Structure 1
Amino acid sequence: KIYRAVGASSLSPSDPSLTYALVGTATTTVPPLTYDDSVLSIKNNLKTQKAFYKVSALDYCPHESQQSSGAAATCLFSGNLVVSPMAGTGGGDITLSMSISGGSDPSYIGRVHITRDSDGYGPPDVTFPSLSGTPSTATWAQTANDTGVYTLYWEAENQRGCIASATTSYTRSNSLPCKLTASAAVLAPSSGTPKTNRLSLNLTNTYSKGLDINKITVSWTNPGTRHIGEIQLPTGTSYCGPGANKLSPAVCTPLFLAPRINPGATNGTLNVWDASVAGETITLQYDFTDSTSLPGTCTFCVSPSQAITVSSSGSCP
């Protein structure tokens, strides 16, 4: 027979405060002599406590032996819990991600409990019906008056009811983090007069809402007397100029309505100078608002080789 008690992790299995109760009978007749205990009824206790076990022998009469000495058990969970975001600051809709790295258990489910530190406010718990090595995602949606510091309690449970958990912190603000990616920068043409004075690239909206590009600021390493004459966004549609003739840093706002990049969409953009900008590091700053008027900024650095990096400081080396 199998007897189980639940108590503080610091307790000895023989501590008199532990109450052992019968949970089942093992009927295995060949080695290894095992009993697979379902801990679903005590899984919440096991977040902070341990399960302790004693066994006894039973014959067919039935006569039962004295109970064995107690032993503490651990709940076996295969793999490591991987969560995102681990930390950060930003507003708007936030993508929550969970996965299990290196897991070999038959199945996993996941949950996230979110509360604001100041008053306990938070959204309903987020549930992931199935977890694997591939991240599962859900959206922590923006709501009114949701700014503040939040604690996120992440929990993954395998088919035995064994749990792996993690706790992270996130600060909700009144602005969005960068929600654009930039790619495929090309400086052209390679010949003619002027040459290498046209920088094209692609902007992709990675956010769940449309982004209106309200201002573009372009600067380059050695301002000199070069002017930027036109910015197109999307390519083929003038954002400012032609004939803008702006020195670095060149601040441009749209001639008419701010162009919108829809969720998941990619728009080309083109920057045109009156002289070559070869060898320059070019800084492109895009100020945007989402469809609920929440603001954000992205700053991209385009190196002389047209490699693109994201600047977290708002400036480029």
Structure 2
Amino acid sequence: MPESLTRAIRWDTVVGALLIVLLLFSFSFVDGFGNSLNLSFLIGNTLPIALIALPMTLLVVAGEIDLSVASTAGLSGAVMGKLWNDGMTIETIIPICLLLGVVCGLINGLLVTRLGLPSLAVTIGTLAAYRGIAQIVLGSDAVTDFPTQYLDFASGRLGGTFLPQAFLPFLVLLAIAVVLLHATPFGRSLFAIGANVEAARFAGIRVRRQKLILFTVTGLMASLTGVFWALHYASARYDNATGLELSVVAAVLLGGIDFDGGKGTLGGAVAGVFLLGALQNVMSLVNVSAQSQIVVTGVLLVVSVLGPRVARQVAVSRAAARST
């Protein structure tokens, strides 16, 4: 098979093509999809997934995963609501929430890197722990009276366009993540760690430190997402972002990031995020139930794991056939 054709059918390229096809179909045949209000809702509702997907992509490339991100976001939102009720200013609350996310990520990272525990098991445990703490902090209350200027920023649009105001900061974070993963020694070290952790150690890469940094940054971004979620939906509750980790992992893996680590592109992950977000938006517009949408997300998660593996197996089989 020609090299150019091989590149053209890479999994992340396929996901990008599917996103374009879905958008074209939706603009043409789904009532209400193309109006500016719906497009703004689509992007705004997808941003929480996209924000966490940035560090999650780097983490999965390095061969790890964090399933506690939604609970960290919920805890951040609960603390935000509690401190606001206690009379603290929002300018003081947000840095505290971000620091809390750093602590949550650091706990995950230390358990994985210093005690040698598997990240899947560790973050399932902290998923439950952080959500429980959030419920203790805020109870069943819902805090909604945040300052108008912050609510407007989180849910408002740029001028007369359909783009949310929060989309611009996301683009800045995306650019930083792309450069970090694909154009720096740090990013290359993550691919090396994910491909073969022992070889990475022998090559002089400080594996534990790199992974600790990733878990900490993931916690920071999860807490930022929790703050954005509370302001975007004008409600801080302990159960904010429940189930968000499934969407994040499904989108990242759908974008071609190998669950075993060492392979993938951030562009593919972002395409997966917005493919999933657009699909959920379309299903809502055609009145597909929330339960059915969860089923579709689960199926996509399975397909996203199987798809690249099948594609690699086909490529290996073709290579073996050519060599005989």
Please give the TM-score of this superposition, normalised by the length of structure 1.
0.22
Higher relative contact order (CA 8 A, sep 6+): 2
Which is richer in helix?
Answer: 2
Compare CA radii of gyration and give the structure with the larger one. Answer: 1
Which one has a larger percent strand, Structure 1 or Structure 2? 1
